[in-house]
Structure 1
Amino acid sequence: MKKLDAKVYCSSCKQKTNHQILYTHSQSSDVKDDFQWHEKHHIAQCLGCDGICFVKQYGSEDMWDIDSGEQVWVDDFTVYPEEPQKVSIKERIEEKMFHRNAKHFKNAPESIQNLYNQIIESFSKGYDILCAAGLRTLIEGICTHLNIKKGYLYDEEGNKLPDDDGKIRKHESLGGKIFELYDKKFIILHQALILQRVIKFGNDALHQMKTPTYYTLKEAVDIVEKVLYDIYELKNHSLLKK
């Protein structure tokens, strides 16, 4: 039998293990659709204890990474029963780990500021999935406000990435739009690369209800705040007027 392409959590072994696939149901977008995605639902068996679990595998054109300078498409795997959180939301709130004050970006559109405020509120209350999904929506909102429609994909060295057929073209995906922000000098390359990671776990939250860690969210909020400042506030800095 075929093995899952990734290790997933086993509730009996209490750790991530290899699993073999017993049964799979697949569905995907049409080849003519603007946005390409696929989803597989597996019944799988742990190769350590023989325990049975349900695994959801999801991938889309927004979900890719750079490996040795090449564009590599990646899938996410969500297992049921899920891996338990090491620290509960209640415990984190009691310890005030999540509290964060929203910043005011006076030159940003009201819709962008309002969405950012809601993201910070979700972060402070420990609503991980809402916060992650909100960050993805905020990035798309920035692109919409700046009339960014599509863009090329780049590797970590700033080289344009070709498609599987070897052609270099602009993509209408959010990943392409983020790199168009870089092309138009709204952000730097490394900000664009980090935002690609942010939309990846934002997609996980939207499509798989997958919860990112507190520290992942904190770092994502940090970089998104920096992007908001660079795009909307920096050009209006008081020192530029003196």
Structure 2
Amino acid sequence: MTKKTVWNYCIKCKQNTNHDIEGTHQEEHDPDDYHCMVEHSVVKCRGCDTVSFRQVFHDYEGAYPDYNDEWVVPREIETFPKAQTGNLDTKHLPEIVESIYQETCNAYRDGALTLAGIGFRATIEAICNDQGITGKELSTRINNLASKGLISKKDSTRLHSIRFMGNDAAHDIKKPTQKSLQAALIIVEHLITTVYIIDRESAGKLDAIIEDYSKFEVLLDEKLKEFSAGDEYPLPKFLGKDTRLISGSTKDIEKTLNARIGKGEYTKLKFGKQDKYLDSKDQLQHYIVV
């Protein structure tokens, strides 16, 4: 016997697919109370065989005639388990950030929209706490996220919108709309990706600007492996093309390097001659590989 099929959302395929109806139970309510019917079904996806529970509410009292004078009965369809909300892999996030983000996504998924609005605001607070961003008010802390270079000015403007939504939900018990929460989810996930995920995923795969001296020394140690003891060159020769990775002028980096060589703290190079660079009046320091 051919099974009946329905068009239903599959949490594994993450889209609507044809489902076989494995079994159905119908519960009709007393018409004198409210004329409706609730239909419960066990359904199986024809694509991946995932089994779900489907509930359909048939609202007979809300029926209306269409253009062909045929009566249309409104239906509300829910599928369980519900589709997961949120698209980020959170296993490498700080525990507090992961916890608040996941709880907020679960509230949004389960229709607790007011709690979800508060939760997205709380996620921003959790990130500020984890990053050591200070400020008495969240508005100040969001601005400080931008001033410290963790996010852009445009990103901070978006975060203020979530702050407004969260404040309305918490203080005025104003329920956010589905559209506003969907936008908030995108913004918060962009924030998490910017602060935590991009650097981790790109580390060792893309060249990165060097701003800390300690990272410069790691680069220099690696580049010196290409030279022999006694080789004498200026710093740009040792660094080669990777000179471009140093943020700003190399003079500050070189000043720190000279101080460490002078104190005997960096022992892979020693001072060599000083020579003029082209037509410049400045003396160019050379170094000898030890």
Larger radius of gyration: 2
TM-score under structure 2 normalisation? 0.42
